Each structure stands twice: as C-alpha cells, then as structure tokens.
Amino acid sequence: MAPARDPEQFFSSLSSAGRQDVLETLRRLYQRIVLDYFQSPPQVEAQVDAFVQLAYRLDLPVSRILEIHMELMADISKQLKLEHRSEDILLDYRLTLIDVMANLCETYRRATRQVLGYTAEETR
Amino acid sequence: MAPARDPEQFFSSLSSAGRQDVLETLRRLYQRIVLDYFQSPPQVEAQVDAFVQLAYRLDLPVSRILEIHMELMADISKQLKLEHRSEDILLDYRLTLIDVMANLCETYRRATRQVLGYTAEETR
C-alpha cells in the first residue's frame, strides 16, 4: 500500500533550501544503500524501502534519482582511482539503481491503481 | 501526458493466451531497443516510448520487465559464448534497462499527479 501524500510536501512545492535539505537526506540514504548493497541484503531491503517511500512522498522527478546515482558514482570512481583500485564495482552498482527504480516504479503503479479504485488482487 | 487506460486491457485482466501475446510483443519491442540502443539513439527514443506506453496501458507488474530483460540477456550471453566473444556488453545493457525503467516510472508519476488533479507545472 502506497503511503498518503501531501502536495505541500512535494519536491516541486519546496523552497530552494527545503529542496537542498531533502536532496541531502536522499543522497545519504542512497549512499548507505549502495555501500551496503552487496554486503548485507536483509538490512538493505528496509533501506531501499525508506528511500523509495521518501521519493514517492516527495513526488521526486525520476531524473533527480539518476543524478544522485551519477554523482555518487563519480565520487566513488575518484576514490577508487586515488587508491589505484579497479572501477568494475561501478558496473555492479547499476543493479542497485535498477532495484531502487523498480521498487519506486511499482509503488507508483500501485498508487495509480489505488487512486483509480482498482482493488482487485493483482495476479501475475 | 500519460495515455488513458482501460482496466479491461490490464495485464491482470487478460486471459492466459492474451498475456502470452502481449508478453511476446513486449519481448520483441525490448529486443529491438536493446539491439539498437548503442547504435541509433534518435530512433531508439521512439522505441523506448512505445514500450513504456504499452507497459503503462497494460499496468504491467514491473517484475515482468525485469524478467523480459533477464531472459534476453541470457539469450545474448549464450550467443556471445557460442561466438567466443566478450560478454562485457551485457553490463552496458543495464543502462538500457535503467533508461526504460526511469521512463516508465516518470510516466506513472505523472499519471498519479494527473489523477489527483495537480496541474501545476512541475519545476525541477
């Protein structure tokens, strides 16, 4: 069940400072997810969920999530280069983004059904 | 603007044969996107759009898209092995999936806003 949303809390309704605040929170959450993703799967699921719920409540443009991912990848890449380590892991982190995006997409899909009043059990 | 949807055309409302038909169409569309993705960007944009609109009209569970991607990757991997070619391209195709998923997610996000009657211009 998708959480209720308040349009006044939408990203597009926030002040410039408010946007910077939520983007910072999202960046921190996403970094945690990426760093934990291939380490501790059970805990990561809750982290992905928290990120997705926040992005959904904010009605965050999807392009912002791509930006958060790309900025973080640039930071990690810089760090790996400094340590003369392989950057192969960056390709694996695309799986993290796919997972987050799939979860968010499914949240919106269900919300659309809810709003339209389709209560039938979704079958596969 | 997200297209209008008819719940009777939803994937969950289709017969088993109807589902196989639309999955086959989606598979063909997705394969075309993947094969063209790094070749001809202008044309690919329209193909991604067609795939996304169909998935949206079908209210297709997002997991089905992941399955279509993974099946196709398995097929391509088999082919590359037969030809003794590198499988690195499979990692690049994750970008294709990310692009498709981001587009679909944005379509649902806009639909949710539409349905809820938020007409304000979305600002970044």
**What is the per-residue pLDDT across A41-75, written as a single tens digit (0 to 9) for each?**
788 999 999 999 999 999 999 999 999 999 999 99
Closest CA to B124 of A61, A51, A22: A61
Chain B residue with minimal CA distance to A118? B7
State the CB neighbour count (10 A cutoff) for residue B53: 15
Give the pLDDT score at B112: 87
How far is the alpha carbon of B69 from chain A, nearest alpha carbon, in Å? 11
For chain A, list residues with pLDDT below 70.
Answer: 1-3, 115-124
Return the domain boundaries, chain A: 14-116
**What is the per-residue pLDDT across B58-113, written as a single tens digit (0 to 9) for each?**
999 999 999 999 999 999 999 999 999 999 999 999 999 999 999 999 999 999 88
Asked whether the predicted pLDDT for residue B117 surpasses 60, the reply is no
* CA geometry: angle B23, B27, B32, nearest 5 deg: 150
Q: Cα dihedral sign for B62, B50, B101, A88?
A: positive
Interface of B with A (CB under 8 A): 7, 10, 12, 59, 61-66, 91, 94-95, 97-98, 101-102, 104-106, 108-109, 111-113, 115-116, 118, 120, 122-124
d(CA A49, CA A53): 6
ipTM computed for the complex: 0.88
Verify whether the Cβ–Cβ distance B95 to A98 is below 8 Å: no
Per-residue pLDDT band for B42 (boundaries 50, 70, 90) equals confident
Closest CA to B124 of A96, A103, A23, A7: A23
Verify whether the Cβ–Cβ distance B115 to A113 is below 8 Å: no
Closest CA to B55 of B44, B40, B43, B67: B67
**Helix residue ranges, H only, B16-87:** 16-36, 41-58, 62-82
Considering chain B, what is the average pLDDT of its residues?
90
* DSSP for chain A, written as a single string: -PPP--GGGSGGGS-HHHHHHHHHHHHHHHHHHHHHTTT-HHHHHHHHHHHHHHHHHHT--HHHHHHHHHHHHHHHHHHHHHTT---THHHHHHHHHHHHHHHHHHHHHHHHHHHHT--SPPP-
Give the pLDDT score at B123: 41
Residue range A14-116 forms a domain whose CATH class is mainly alpha
Verify whether the Cβ–Cβ distance B102 to A59 is below 8 Å: no
**Domain B15-116 fold:** 1.10.1240
Chain A residue with minimal CA distance to B94? A94
Closest CA to B51 of B37, B40, A95: B37
Give the pLDDT score at B124: 42
